[in-house]
Structure 1
């Protein structure tokens, strides 16, 4: 099978390795050549392109059976907007896939995207593309995932210094997942289903307080969780918006995800506490 993976972040890299391990041929897309470091393989073809410029995508889907897009802005200091990349960039790739006659197009979104699309720029862009994809001439699968363990690990490093912060009460919960589990589900379901939205979380629903406590326990520190009121965050974001749309967007995402219950279907088997131990 010939598979195109667009985006070489942590999820894209896991998907690339899984498909290569299966014996498939993989074509990977990224904006910069250095994003392919460590991914050398006889059956891996790498292409650099800018998904916001359709002319750079000409022919990239030719000969592909499947396309999976992990494209999206993950950096606060990105110069382009979520609408530029997460929506228009993915639409450009989808149109190229349709032109090439690709059998199926897979896409990854955050869990809760349909609930937060009216207030969070990232979720608005993702949801708009979901709606476009569902009208496509190609078969499709949309995966909606809980937060990644890898992101929580970065947040949890502050526990070693004595304090962690939560927005609101910290009692709202979601179902975070190890990216390896998510990638395994995606590869499996891409072969089984079409035209469906698939929820993917880890084995446990976790509140933000519970995540903080797991991090403190791992570092052997006494828990000290500081709650920041939601109203204060919203005030700060309203002042920040005219000066930094990217930081405003990231802040809105954090507030939404921290103050809503956003459970996912429990598909993964790796626990967050075990992931912490494995990562050090």
Structure 2
């Protein structure tokens, strides 16, 4: 199968490209730069926000995977309207190119809680993108993962970045809401084979899968694991959510500050699956890597 992976030089994309190569597929990574592609992967230079760059890149491919995404953890450069430009409009551009090129399959990376009427720009844009995918003429599959961790990912470093933003130079860590927001981290090496199955197998056509790791952890528990792995002690100071909202609203107005009100809103709801769909890929939770195992502090 000829597979185009949009975002194929990124964190998840590089793992998926290698997985597809190992399965005998011909893989092309669509990216804004030719740098960073895994060995054996062709590169097509293009941008999902620029439709004119997509037609030639998509031509000749049987399947298209859309992994292009902006992080929900930080406010994007250019403001929150970039979420709509990249996630909703970018997906629509890629769908059009895939349909016109005669591709058969389309795999969309979405997010838990994706909803066109959601609470954050990221969630709304992801929800609108899902709507476009379902309305297409392609055989589609949608994945909604919880946060993904692994070598090259940003989630683990996110906790230390928060410390640098809120309490630099002091041994106290003020966590919004005391860090009660729950996550279900999934290791990228566990996720990539599921994505590859989604590309290959007809049984996954027309399905939306919520996938997460083997355990639910609060942000506080994740923070403790990360600092334990670094051999650093940390004292958690619960930061009331109203204070977090005020602080992020004020700080978010400062040019260059990487967080804002949307990040506060995202911490108000859990990032966990209602029913972990990993079983659809023949996977059991005991087969998955925990965050503690990855960090070496299991």
TM tier, shorter chain?
Answer: 0.7 to 0.9
- The answer as to whether partners of 1:141 and 1:195 remain within 8 angstroms in 2 is yes
Equivalent in the alignment of 2:6 = 6
Closer, same or farther in 2 for the Cα pair 1:229/1:266, shift >3 Å? Answer: farther
Q: Take 1:93 and 1:246, find their aligned partners in 2: how far apart are those partners?
A: 31
- The answer as to whether partners of 1:175 and 1:266 remain within 8 angstroms in 2 is no
Q: Take 1:174 and 1:109, find their aligned partners in 2: how far apart are those partners?
A: 16
Equivalent in the alignment of 1:212 = 223
- Equivalences, count: 271
- So what's the TM-score if we normalise by structure 1? 0.86
Equivalent in the alignment of 1:151 = 154
Return the offset for 1:109: 1.6
The answer on 1:186 being equivalent to 2:189 is no
Return the offset for 1:239: 4.2
CA-to-aligned-CA distance 1:165-219 (integer Å, 9 cap, x gap): 4221322312111112111111123323111110111111111121122123223
CA RMSD of the aligned region, Å? 2.7
Tell me the secondary structure at the aligned position of residue 154 of structure 1.
Answer: helix
- The answer as to whether partners of 2:45 and 2:57 remain within 8 angstroms in 1 is no
CA-to-aligned-CA distance 1:235-260 (integer Å, 9 cap, x gap): 3444466666994xx53443234222
- The answer as to whether partners of 2:55 and 2:101 remain within 8 angstroms in 1 is no
Closer, same or farther in 2 for the Cα pair 1:167/1:266, shift >3 Å? Answer: farther
Closer, same or farther in 2 for the Cα pair 1:230/1:21, shift >3 Å? Answer: same
Q: Take 1:88 and 1:52, find their aligned partners in 2: how far apart are those partners?
A: 7
Unaligned stretches of 5+ residues in structure 1: none
Unaligned stretches of 5+ residues in structure 2: 279-284
- The answer as to whether partners of 2:181 and 2:218 remain within 8 angstroms in 1 is yes
Closer, same or farther in 2 for the Cα pair 1:163/1:5, shift >3 Å? Answer: farther
